[in-house]
Amino acid sequence: MSRRVAQRRSPAVRGVMGSVAALAAGLVLVAGTAGTATAIPAGGGTRATAGCGSDQGEKQPSAAAAAAARAATAEPPAAAVGTAAEKISYSLPSQLPIGMWSRSGITLRTPVTKGTVRLDVRSRGFGTDSLSVQHYVPTTHKWTDLKSSPTGSDTHGVFTFPVTADASAARPHSVALRIQDLDRPGTLTVTASVDDGKGRTYSAPARTATTTRPDVSVSGWRGGDRLTRGGAPSGPFTVTVKNTTDRPYPALYASYYAYGTGNSHALAPKDLVLQQYRPGHGWERVPLVAGGCDPGMSAALLPVAKGPLAPGATVSYRLRIAVAASAPRDVSRADAGVTVGNGDLSFFHQDLPFGIR
């Protein structure tokens, strides 16, 4: 997650729990966000935080952090883009799946001495402060954030990096870039230019991409349901994920979360029974894990996909929830819901509250 996105969202993550909005934003960090994407532990794995606040959870090592470390030193392929007649060329794929790095690139065919490459980004459907843009630095073998400049507009971002290159049409100089959206679907248009350090500026044709994510739906859940302590579970409900993007989605996961308080008590994991149906196994209980200092709980649903979810593929999570006889009598409602994501980023959230009698 870029520093700008983290700064913008930290008040919601670190705020006092007590409402479903706060729960969806920060509960155990595995529940994801209410309608937007944010960093959570890899694979949706549940674990109670060691203490109050999200910082302690963020410091725990994860598979996502290890993958990010490997990606940081991975040498990208060097390939020229554009045509020989262009002083600067810029490439961008037509789709940018949310939460995944997408490769782009700059190719220079003119000498640049202590110049600056500039990306002017205009977005629709989300703010450009949710974008993370990096360039690869061969001398350090690392991906480095591009410098961002304020523009006074949420939908206009400017990203820059310095460059010196003895480039020409016969000897083009290419710089690997990558970009990802951490928020909502929409579109963005990027215009790349370079100041050659000698008073001349060259621009590349603008490129437009669509930020996308898999389609997720929840069926079978009846709003306003009331469950009886020690009684039958809810009717089965299904979370269906279809990869409508043009790329495989890795490390797909889904999480369930719940939160309920009364005048004197709060729901605990022993008070709810979450089950998931898997062909060949039947209904299996999925353990809920307490949310550390917050009286909430969450669970990583059992995997239903082997490997990345291919473009066009669909998977489903079939669930039911029951209230145990141990549930405190003064709790009459639970705020609950599901999130779906990939790796360390959630891209879908839906509330599924229920009453308790």
pTM of the model: 0.75
Query: In 3D, which of 255, 245, 94, 79 has the Cα closest to residue 174?
Result: 79
H-type helices in the chain, by residue range? 3-14, 20-26, 54-58, 63-72
Of 275 and 280, the structure prediction assigns the larger pLDDT to: 275
CATH among 3.90.120.10, 3.40.50.20, 2.60.40.3880, 3.40.640.10 for 3-68+214-356 = 2.60.40.3880
Is pLDDT at 53 greater than 70 in this prediction? no
146-164: pLDDT as tens digits: 999 989 999 999 999 999 9
Which pLDDT score, from 0 to 100, does residue 34 have? 34
Which pLDDT score, from 0 to 100, does residue 207 have? 97
Is pLDDT at 63 greater than 90 in this prediction? no
279-322: pLDDT as tens digits: 989 999 999 999 866 789 999 999 998 889 999 999 999 999 99
Is pLDDT at 140 greater than 80 in this prediction? yes
Is pLDDT at 357 greater than 60 in this prediction? yes
Domain 78-212 indexed as CATH 3.30.9.10: no
pLDDT category of residue 42 using cuts at 50, 70 and 90? very low
Which pLDDT score, from 0 to 100, does residue 69 have? 52
Rounded to an integer, what distance in angstroms lies between the CA atom of residue 116 and that of residue 151?
17
Count of C-beta atoms within a 10 Å radius of residue 102:
18
Is pLDDT at 220 greater than 70 in this prediction? yes
Which pLDDT score, from 0 to 100, does residue 291 have? 81
pLDDT category of residue 114 using cuts at 50, 70 and 90? very high
The residues, ordered by sequence, that sit 6+ positions from 69 with a Cβ below 8 Å of its Cβ are none
159-217: pLDDT as tens digits: 999 999 999 999 999 999 999 998 889 999 999 999 999 999 999 999 999 999 999 99
**% pLDDT > 90, the chain:** 67
- What burial letters (b/e) apply to 64-88, b meaning 16+ CB within 10 Å? beeeeeeeeeeebeeebbbeeebbb
**Exposure of 135 in the CB half-sphere (CA atoms within 13 A):** 21
DSSP string, 215-282: EEEEES--TT-EEPTTSPPPPPEEEEEE--SSSPBPSEEEEEEEE-B-SS-B--GGGEEEEEEETTTE
Mean pLDDT of the chain: 82
Give the distance between the most distant pair of CA atoms in the chain.
78
Which pLDDT score, from 0 to 100, does residue 332 have? 94
Across the range 74-100, mean pLDDT stands at 88
Record the tokens describing residue 159, joined without a space.
């990203």
What are the boundaries of each domain within the chain?
3-68+214-356, 78-212
